[in-house]
Amino acid sequence: MSKADIIVGIQWGDEGKGKIVDKLAQEYDVVCRSQGGHNAGHTIWVDGVRFALHLVPSGILNPKAVNVIGNGVVLNPPSIIKELTQFSDLEGRLLISEKAQLNLPYHSLIDLAREKLKGSNAIGTTGKGIGPAYSDKINRIGHRAGELLNPAKLYESILEYFAQNKIIFDALDIVLPSNEELKGQLEEYSRELSPFIVNTTNYVWKALEENKRVLLEGAQGTMLDIDHGTYPYVTSSNTVSAGACTGLGLNPKDIGTITGITKAYCTRVGNGPFPSEDFGDDGETMARVGKEFGTTTGRKRRCGWFDAVAVKYASRLNGCDQLSLMKLDVLDGFDVLKICVAYELNGEIIDYMPSDLDNVKPVYEEIKGWDSVVGCRDFDKLPATAKQYITRIEELTKTKVGIISTSPEREDTIIR
């Protein structure tokens, strides 16, 4: 019986999970998504060709891997149908849980309307209907992917849902699709997606029993976790490693190695606290060199220094065996780098994550920069100051750095 390994984002998302999952997927038989939806945007570069994935697991570029969308995901049918047009050989390589919740176009309308009402307190969601789809699940009024196998029955059920929730749609000024439109949409979703809908719990259990290598790919990041992140400026799922178990039907004993993905600096897209954000030239340089624009919404990402307090917290929450330090090359050419080693809260210095990050100020340590690490594939060839930076991160986060990434390309990766 094998164990499932986990790749998990340990900052505010966009850490480079897609690149690492794609790199590692070459050695895995099964790659699974367990939470989130098409709010995720995972960019992968292979030999100069760019792939942008939202719902499809990043194992799809390994022709031998089977890709599973687990029960914990909120599945937007039009988004995945569009995404699948990038690939031609999908038979037997994509499985969708019949228990995955459907994230339907009206969820996005609710999301956008609620954000508008919040005005300056908006969360800055991706507008993809994630919160409303998960709310319907928890409210027990949602619909599941398995219902697409009988679109006529699903149609009746959604009409009933519209009638029961009319007061909400009216209050938010939401124009719902006509009955004909809805029927046509559901028939299309059913036609396109039914071939992939199965009992993925049984599939993953059998894969582990047969000693297959299974990789679980996280979406978003730990600081966006609904329970442990910077609430309410978070997403609506459990992004931590424990969420991968419920999102697939696994138990904690099924889990093997857990790798936390972190940038060598830090970014955040959307609103909410970000203690080590840099509003000056350094943040601008990181955004420009790191091409920090969102894969899903195209929004500019806020940039700042590596926050060792947040990563230490996230590493403990997720049980990280190792870190994968991404985008080290983006720090090339800085004379001096800063690391946030503690926070100041009401005049006190703390080295742990308080439940509210609103009033903390970063305490920085400075460390000498380096000329260039871009494209480096050999740890011994890294400049001495880059090695010192990595060692300091290991000390502060109490976690070893097992993987280092030095460009967007699959092969520009150091595995120690």
Q: Which of 276, 408, 410, 414 binds ligand GDP (CB under 6 A)?
A: 408
SS (H, E, C) 99-120: CCEECCHHHHHHHHHHHHHHHH
Catalytic residues: 14, 42
Cα of 324 vs its chain's centroid, Å:
15
Under the binding rule (CB under 5 A), the answer on residue 41 touching Mg ion is yes
Under the binding rule (CB under 6 A), the answer on residue 77 touching ligand IMO is no
Spatial contact of 46 and 61, defined as CB atoms under 8 Å apart: yes
Spatial contact of 51 and 44, defined as CB atoms under 8 Å apart: yes
Q: Which of 2, 45, 183, 354 binds ligand GDP (CB under 6 A)?
A: 45
Residues 273-302 close enough to bind ligand GDP by CB under 6 A: 290, 295
Under the binding rule (CB under 6 A), the answer on residue 11 touching ligand IMO is no
Name which of Mg ion, ligand GDP, ligand IMO, none residue 406 binds, using a CB cut-off of 5 to 8 Å depending on partner kind. ligand GDP
> What's the number of CA atoms in the CB half-sphere (13 Å) around residue 370?
18
Under the binding rule (CB under 5 A), the answer on residue 22 touching Mg ion is no
Under the binding rule (CB under 6 A), the answer on residue 16 touching ligand GDP is yes
- Closest CB to Mg ion among residues 125, 190: 125
Q: Which of 130, 154, 326, 340 binds ligand IMO (CB under 6 A)?
A: 130
Under the binding rule (CB under 6 A), the answer on residue 326 touching ligand GDP is yes
Sketch the per residue contact string, 202 through 241, with ligand IMO: x for CB under 6 A, - otherwise.
-----------------xxx--x----------xx-----
Q: From CA 184, how far away is CA 22, in angstroms rounded?
A: 35
Instruction: Determine how β-strand 336-345 pairs with β-strand 361-368.
Output: antiparallel
Which residues on neighbouring strands pair with residue 362, listed in sequence order?
A: 343
- Closest CB to ligand GDP among residues 197, 325: 325
- Specify burial of residue 56 (Cβ count, 10 A radius: 0-12, 13-18, 19+): buried
The region of 37-45, 118-126, 141-149, 185-193 touching ligand GDP under the rule CB under 6 A is 37-45
Cα of 322 vs its chain's centroid, Å:
18
Under the binding rule (CB under 6 A), the answer on residue 124 touching ligand IMO is yes
- Closest CB to ligand GDP among residues 205, 379: 379
Residues 283-322 close enough to bind Mg ion by CB under 5 A: 295
Q: Which of 97, 126, 185, 406 binds ligand IMO (CB under 6 A)?
A: 126
Place of tokens 């780098």: 337
The region of 36-44, 258-266, 281-289, 319-327 touching ligand IMO under the rule CB under 6 A is 36-44
Give the long-range contacts of residues 80-87, CB within 8 A, separation 24 or more.
Answer: 80/38, 80/54, 80/55, 80/56, 80/193, 81/188, 81/189, 81/192, 81/193, 83/38, 83/53, 83/54, 83/55, 83/56, 84/56, 84/192, 86/51, 87/56, 87/60
Interface positions with ligand IMO (CB under 6 A) = 9, 12-14, 39-42, 123-126, 128, 130-131, 219-221, 224, 235-236, 269-270
Contact residues for Mg ion, defined by CB under 5 A: 14, 41, 295
Which residues of the chain form contacts with ligand GDP (CB under 6 A)?
9, 13-19, 41-43, 45, 290, 295, 326-327, 329-330, 405-408
